[in-house]
Chain A
Amino acid sequence: MTDYSLLLSQRAKNIKPSGIRKFFSAASEMKDVISLGVGEPDFKTPWVIRKAGIASLDAGRTWYTANAGLSALQKEISLYLKRRFELAYAPENVLVTVGGSEAIDLAMRAFINPGDEVLIPEPSFVCYTPIAELCGARPVPVVTKAEDEFRLNPDALRAAITPKTKLLVFPFPNNPTGGVMRRKHLEEIAGVLKGTDIIVLSDEIYAELTYGEEGHVSISSVDGMKDRTIVVNGFSKAHAMTGWRLGYVTGPAPVMEVLNKIHQYAIMCAPTTSQYAAIEALRSCDDDVLKMAEEYNKRRRLIVMRLNEMGLSCFNPGGAFYAFPSIQSTGLSSQEFCERLLHSKKVAVVPGDAFGDSGEGFVRISYSYSIEHIKEALRRIEAFLKELRA
Chain B
Amino acid sequence: MYDLLKLLEDNARYSDKELSAILGISGEEVRKKIADLEEDGILRGYKAIVDWEKTERDVVMARIELKVIPKRDRGFEELAETISGFEEVQTLYLMSGGYDLAVTVVGKSFKDIANFVAHRLAPLESVQATATHFVLRKYKDKNTLFIDPERDERGVVL
Contact A37 B21 (CB under 8 A): no
Which residues of chain B are near A301, meaning CB under 8 Å? Answer: 21-24
B11 CB–A CB distance under 8 Å: yes
Which residues of chain B are near A302, meaning CB under 8 Å? Answer: 18, 21-22
How far apart are B22's CB and chain A's nearest CB, in angstroms? 5
Contact B21 A371 (CB under 8 A): no
How far apart are A338's CB and chain B's nearest CB, in angstroms? 11
B1 CB–A CB distance under 8 Å: no
Q: With CB as the reference atom, state the residue of chain A lying closest to B21.
A: A305
A209 CB–B CB distance under 8 Å: no
Contact A125 B156 (CB under 8 A): no
Task: Among A24, A355, A372, point to the contact of B156 (Cβ < 8 A).
Answer: A24
Which residues of chain A are near B156, meaning CB under 8 Å? Answer: 24, 27-28, 35, 37-39, 348, 350
B98 CB–A CB distance under 8 Å: no
Which residues of chain B are near A306, meaning CB under 8 Å? Answer: 21
Number of chain A interface residues as a range: 20 to 34
Query: Complex: how many Å from CA A15 to CA B124?
Result: 81
Query: Complex: how many Å from CA A299 to CA B17?
Result: 13
How far apart are A252's CB and chain B's nearest CB, in angstroms? 31
How far apart are B19's CB and chain A's nearest CB, in angstroms? 9
Which residues of chain A are near B18, meaning CB under 8 Å? Answer: 302, 375
Number of chain B interface residues as a range: 10 to 19
Contact B22 A298 (CB under 8 A): yes
Contact A38 B155 (CB under 8 A): yes
A40 CB–B CB distance under 8 Å: yes
Contact A39 B21 (CB under 8 A): no
Query: Complex: how many Å from CA A20 to CA B18?
Result: 33
How far apart are B21's CB and chain A's nearest CB, in angstroms? 4
A354 CB–B CB distance under 8 Å: yes
How far apart are A327's CB and chain B's nearest CB, in angstroms? 18
Query: Complex: how many Å from CA A348 to CA B154?
Result: 13
Query: Complex: how many Å from CA A348 to CA B155?
Result: 11
Q: With CB as the reference atom, state the residue of chain A lying closest to B24.
A: A301
How far apart are B155's CB and chain A's nearest CB, in angstroms? 7
Contacts A302-B18, A302-B21, A371-B22; is A39 near B152 (CB within 8 Å)?
no
Interface flags, B133-157, vs A, CB<8A=1, else 0: 0000000000000000000101111
How far apart are A292's CB and chain B's nearest CB, in angstroms? 15
How far apart are B148's CB and chain A's nearest CB, in angstroms? 15
* Residue in A20, A37, A299 with the greatest tally of chain B CB atoms within 10 Å: A37
Which residues of chain B are near A55, meaning CB under 8 Å? Answer: none
Query: Complex: how many Å from CA A42 to CA B153?
Result: 10
Which residues of chain B are near A42, meaning CB under 8 Å? Answer: 152, 154
B48 CB–A CB distance under 8 Å: no
A290 CB–B CB distance under 8 Å: no
Query: Complex: how many Å from CA A323 to CA B18?
Result: 17
B158 CB–A CB distance under 8 Å: yes
Which residues of chain B are near A35, meaning CB under 8 Å? Answer: 152, 156
Task: Among A39, A304, A355, A375, point to the contact of B157 (Cβ < 8 A).
Answer: A39
A126 CB–B CB distance under 8 Å: yes
Interface flags, A28-65, vs B, CB<8A=1, else 0: 10000001011110100000000000000000000000
Query: Complex: how many Å from CA A301 to CA B157?
Result: 23
Within 8 A of A (CB), among B1-50: 7, 10-11, 17-18, 21-24
Query: Complex: how many Å from CA A375 to CA B13?
Result: 12
Q: With CB as the reference atom, state the residue of chain B lying closest to A306.
A: B21
Query: Complex: how many Å from CA A18 to CA B158?
Result: 10
Interface flags, A345-362, vs B, CB<8A=1, else 0: 000101000110000000
Contact B11 A372 (CB under 8 A): yes
Contacts A35-B152, A371-B11, A372-B11; is A350 near B158 (CB within 8 Å)?
yes
Interface flags, A182-209, vs B, CB<8A=1, else 0: 0000000000000000000000000000
Contact B158 A354 (CB under 8 A): yes
* Residue in B24, B152, B154 with the greatest tally of chain A CB atoms within 10 Å: B154
Contact B24 A355 (CB under 8 A): no
Which residues of chain B are near A125, meaning CB under 8 Å? Answer: 158
Contact A126 B154 (CB under 8 A): no
Query: Complex: how many Å from CA A126 to CA B10?
Result: 36
Other contacts beyond A176-B158, A354-B158: 7, CB < 8 A: A28-B156, A40-B154, A298-B7, A298-B22, A302-B21, A302-B22, A371-B11
Provide a sorted-by-A list of 14 A–B residue pairs whose CB atoms are within 8 angstroms.
A27-B156, A35-B156, A38-B154, A38-B157, A39-B156, A125-B158, A176-B158, A302-B18, A304-B21, A305-B21, A306-B21, A348-B156, A350-B158, A375-B18
User: What is the interface of chain A, defined by CB distance below 8 A to chain B?
Assistant: 18, 20, 24, 27-28, 35, 37-40, 42, 125-126, 175-176, 298-299, 301-302, 304-306, 348, 350, 354-355, 371-372, 375
Q: Which 6 A-B pairs have the closest CB atoms?
A: A305-B21, A37-B156, A39-B157, A38-B154, A298-B22, A24-B156
